Amino acid sequence: MSAELHVRRRVAFSETDAAGIVHFSTYFRYFEDAEHALWREAGLSIHPEVSDIGWPRVAASCEYHRPLRFEQEFDISVVIAEITRRTVRYAGTIASRGERVAKATWKIACIAKQPDGSMRSTEIPASILERLEPYVHRLPDTE
């Protein structure tokens, strides 16, 4: 199994602005869709119907290299760049026609849902860590 997950998409009209170009905020939806596909491939759901934990985003960054336009096909690649006891950090790339369109990183935190509706940071359950481990992209040592 490859650490990298690939999703192929086509730009929908509703994702474009008046100039026919994908709005910058839509790229975060593309990356999130690929993240959820990774979880499904791992046999998980990031938002099961009944769960005492949640996964809010705590950081996100995207660099844009060229635009996407209506009906253009593109590929989204995502890997888990790092897992700590409480967070998962992803790295993703969007490419079309052999050229990089955008690259992003984002981080989610595992939280315990409190009875009063608040959230508290908690450790990622071992069963989830085990299923996500095959998607961690290990960079070679530079020493």
The answer as to whether 142 is a domain residue is: no
Give the domain CATH number at 104.
3.10.129.10
The span from the CA of 83 to the CA of 80, in Å, is 7
Phi and psi for 130 in degrees, rounded to 5?
Answer: -60, -40
Asked whether the CA dihedral 124, 130, 131, 132 is positive or negative, the reply is positive
Q: Is residue 140 part of a domain?
A: no
**What percent of the chain stands above pLDDT 90?**
90
Domain count, the chain: 1
Q: What is the mean pLDDT of residues 58-81?
A: 97
Positions marked active-site: 17
Task: Tell me how far the alpha carbon of residue 30 is from its chain's centroid.
Answer: 8
Q: What is the mean pLDDT of residues 40-45?
A: 96
Q: What was the pLDDT predicted at 61?
A: 98
Q: How far is it, in rounded angstroms, from Cα 9 to Cα 23?
A: 16
Does 143 map to a domain? Answer: no
Q: Considering only CA atoms, which of 93, 72, 66 is closest in space to residue 9?
A: 72
pLDDT band at 140 (very low <50, low <70, confident <90, very high): low
- The pair of structure tokens assigned to 21 is 């170009």
Boundaries of domain holding 22? 5-135
What is residue 95's predicted lDDT score, i.e. its pLDDT?
98
pLDDT tier, 143 (very low <50, low <70, confident <90, very high otherwise): very low
